[in-house]
Amino acid sequence: MVIDHPIFLESIRFIRSHLGANDLNYLEKKVLERLVHTSGDFSVQNLVNFSEGACEKGLRALKNGAPILTDTDMAAAAIKSMTENTTRNKVFTASMWFGKNNHTKLTKTAFGLSEGWKELSAINSGSKSPIVVIGSSPTALTYLIDILENAKDLPSLIIGMPVGFIGVEKSKNKLISTDLPRIVLNSTRGGAAMAAAAVNALLRETI
């Protein structure tokens, strides 16, 4: 069970009272509030991009026990603390598959995430298809999209929030151009904390 600190609750009330008008639905607003809280910046309201029904698909998958695959141990740690108090979904990181990397043309994170996806999606499909959370590596996001182009099984949700300058915006635009269920933070902004916050906002709604 999640027990919120009074300061957190006060922060969320403050954020709600200062957010500008928008057309977001209930779940999208919950995600936005967490992103603003995590970043301390109201301007992220103008950067977050939801595909239609993405939050609903992600929430349904979480309730059905879908595994969560992240690109970094940092994002995984932030998500695990929430899953332990809610749905207890299993959380995996790309680093779990680093040791198998003999693919010299890929970054280790791109390789690890893709191998993790292949393994987890093989045993979790349909309403339990994995949720993929990317807060660091644009190469991992780009390569994942490439291997999904001809895939039968697709993620329940992709959180696309890699941070940085080289290839970051290109990878996000590539995700947005697909029909994959997604939550994207446009621009060069992102990071493990932001990506985890998006998932944690949905996990809170499972209670």
Which tens digit of pLDDT belongs to each residue from 186-202?
999 999 999 999 999 99
User: Residue 73 sits in a domain of what CATH number?
Assistant: 3.40.50.10230
Does some domain include residue 140? yes
Tens of pLDDT, residue by residue over 33-54, are 999 999 999 999 999 999 999 9
Cβ count near 189 (within 10 Å):
20
d(CA 30, CA 88): 20
Does residue 25 belong to any structural domain of this protein? no
Is residue 75 in a domain?
A: yes
Instruction: Identify the DSSP state of 21.
Output: P
Number of domains in the chain: 1
Give 1's pLDDT tier (boundaries 50, 70, 90): low
- What residues have CB less than 8 Å from 204, skipping those under 6 apart? 2, 30, 82, 86
Residue 20 domain-assigned?
no
Q: Are 171 and 138 in contact (CB under 8 A)?
A: yes
Report yes or no on 146 lying in a domain. Answer: yes
Predicted model pTM? 0.96
User: Domain for residue 71, yes or no?
Assistant: yes
For residue 74, pLDDT beyond 70: yes
Question: Is the predicted pLDDT of residue 104 greater than 80, yes or no?
Answer: no
Q: Which domain holds residue 62?
A: 49-204
